[in-house]
Chains A and B, each alone.
Chain A
């Protein structure tokens, strides 16, 4: 059983409050801490603080590899040095929900999208997972590099928008729009499927490819990939909220007013 207890707060923009019993430790991504009690000792460690059989150089390389997965080179270790339980809270950096995943339920292995890791119990390692299929890497929407989170205990991952957790039965597959995939257990097969129709790709607003996930295993999906959110915000900021249609309408009104004046002063 996990040593720590936690509470995820907030509805859409969430943070997680972790209660550490005496001498318990939790690791957090740099800059993710929101608040903490007095008696928590914070230290900065290289990578995820895990040891390496190659000593300091090995630790450094592990940290560099970890930083390729969208995390920072260093992370923070929060240790309760007092005799009473202490709190520490982590908030995610974007419009996102936080989900707590118990790794022991998944056989100690989880694949996540880049930068998904927020915080985790001691002994959890974040490694680089490399996509070996070229077409999945190019068209799967997650790129070639993902995160592999291993260890025992609870890990907090974040994803933008609402989060859906699903369990796929053996042979059951699900088509997912690229970029919506947050995490999957290692037994799940991740392929891409051609959408099949150029028309759909051009005018349907979807990509040419779907990610195809096949069970058995658990998957987590997000409703609002940052790419989609960014595109919407960009569109809104470029057009200033008013499209071409609005301006045309405005011109029509001016024309109608001028015409009515003309009719009024030049009665036939």
Chain B
């Protein structure tokens, strides 16, 4: 007769004693104390601190509670396999309890895993997420936004939109922006710093000092090509979404509403782009110059001019575009990689442009 070992608890032995037991027909026999119990009276339950103890419980003839606690896993397996048919139904308790605990912990692990994974994915494909968000903004909306920013700027000082200098900027710009989805607007601002910048939606503003500084129209074309790429690649929107995203995260964690506002204000005021956005604008701007059959050498000569600017008081343009020498090198490499044979230098009466009163 195959037996299983267990601890036998009874009113006389509340601390339990080791016992061997076996099933005999419809009876459970506990060997050392020679007690037999009707299988029909037995209830099975799972208990113990770790929920790994399997109990067979019944009442003796005086109503006292008795129980057998199965000793090891093999004993439990033995009972599950060899219990009389009337007990088999109760054997399910064991599996149910195990399954429930397993289900709870595996679903907890799954939820944690999904959270961690989505954070990692967001981190990994951060650029794509930003692009995807930006792609939901239409060109019309972007232009609307650019106009409102422009309106705000014009309240301080009216921007120049006529005269020979303006016409030069506009005609070169138009040549560079053929087939564009944006409706470009070209403007000149009276300012002593050598700078040019793009607002979202195709508003490009050139400082007057930049026009007096450069010697030939090719260099102006190079600057415009660079700024146009900031518009075409929607760099302003991307950095806004970028900073807005971080600001939102900051707001959530710090509970401070003024932080994102400060960041948006900073973003609109400065229009500083990250290094990789500048590189992209350089690269694609160069391509645009070549596509428009304009000699791309202006980009190099302009940057060389910038480099020679007095370093003690670096103009804004330089401070927002670090490492000018590196940029010159990259552009020179790109130009030598794809020589443009059909490209021609621009022909303009540059002296006339520079004599324009508005620039003085």
Residues on A close to B: CB < 8 A? 105, 107, 111, 129, 131-134, 146, 167-172, 184, 186-190, 214-218
- Whether B105 sits at the interface, judged by CB under 8 Å, is yes
Question: Which residues of B are in contact with A by a Cβ distance under 8 Å?
Answer: 7, 9, 11, 14-16, 47-51, 53, 55, 57, 64-67, 69, 101, 104-105, 108
| Cross-chain contact A167 with B15 (CB below 8 angstroms) | yes
A186 to B67, CA, bound (A): 15
In the assembled complex, 7 residue pairs joining A and B whose CB atoms fall closer than 8 Å, in A order, are: A105-B15, A131-B49, A187-B69, A215-B9, A216-B67, A217-B15, A217-B16
Report if A216-B69 is in contact (Cβ < 8 Å); known contacts: A133-B101, A170-B57: yes
Extra contacts besides A134-B108, A171-B57, A187-B53 (15): CB < 8 Å: A107-B7, A129-B49, A132-B101, A132-B105, A134-B104, A169-B11, A169-B64, A170-B55, A170-B57, A186-B50, A187-B16, A187-B47, A187-B48, A188-B47, A215-B14
Q: Which of B16, B50, B104, B105 is the one whose CB lies under 8 Å from A216?
A: B16
Q: How many A-B residue pairs have CB under 8 A?
A: 64
Chain A residues with CB under 8 A of B66: 170
Task: Tell me if B's interface is mostly helix, strand, loop or mixed.
Answer: strand
Q: Distance in Å from the Cβ of B65 to the closest Cβ of chain A?
A: 4
A112 to chain B, nearest CB (A): 11
- Are B14 and A169 neighbours in the complex by a CB distance under 8 Å? yes
Q: Which residues of B contact A216 (CB under 8 A)?
A: 9, 14, 16, 67, 69
Q: How far is the CA of A260 from the CA of B7 in the complex (A)?
A: 80
Residue contact B51 to A132, C-beta cutoff 8 Å: yes
Q: Are A186 and B48 in contact (CB under 8 A)?
A: yes
CB within 8 Å for A188 and B48 given contacts A105-B15, A171-B57, A216-B14:
yes
Residues of B within 8 A of A133 (CB): 51, 101
Contact B49 A188 (CB under 8 A): yes
Question: In the bound complex, what is the Cα–Cα distance between A217 and B47 (angstroms)?
Answer: 11
Q: What are the nearest 9 A-B pairs in CB distance?
A: A189-B47, A170-B67, A216-B9, A170-B65, A171-B65, A167-B14, A111-B49, A170-B9, A132-B101
Which one, B15, B53, B65, B108, contacts A186 given CB within 8 A? B53
Q: Which of A105, A132, A215, A217 contacts B50 (CB 8 A)?
A: A132
